[in-house]
C-alpha cells in the first residue's frame, strides 16, 4: 500500500483502521489519526488504473 499521510496534521505512520468497504471499483479504508484524532477515507483502485486519494471526513477543529 502507498504511504498514507493524515490530511489534517501530516502524520505518516500507523493509523487506526475503523472500517473497510468496496465502492464501485474502489477499496475504501476509513482511518483515524493517532496524533490528532482526524478521520479520513483512503480510496484505492486495486487495478491501479486510477490514482488513490484521500477524503477528509467532517470538520476538524483546532483546540484553542
Enter the pTM of the model.
Answer: 0.80
The reply to whether 24 falls in a domain is yes
pLDDT at residue 50 in the model: 85
Number of domains the chain contains:
1
Residue 12, beta-bridge partner list: 5
**15's grid cell:** 493509523
| Domain extent for 20 | 16-56
pLDDT in tens, 6-63: 999 999 999 999 999 999 889 999 999 999 999 999 999 988 888 888 889 876 655 5
The reply to whether 29 falls in a domain is yes
Torsion angle, CA of 52/30/1/44, rounded to 10 degrees? -30
Which residues, 6+ apart, have CB-to-CB distance to 12 below 8 Å?
A: 3, 4, 5, 6
The reply to whether 23 falls in a domain is yes
Amino acid at each position: 500500500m502507498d504511504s498514507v499521510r493524515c490530511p489534517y496534521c501530516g502524520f505518516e505512520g500507523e493509523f487506526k483502521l475503523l472500517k473497510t468497504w468496496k465502492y464501485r471499483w474502489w477499496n475504501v479504508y476509513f482511518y483515524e489519526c493517532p496524533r490528532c484524532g482526524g478521520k479520513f477515507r483512503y480510496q484505492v483502485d486495486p487495478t491501479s488504473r486510477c490514482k488513490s486519494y484521500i477524503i477528509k471526513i467532517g470538520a476538524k477543529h483546532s483546540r484553542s
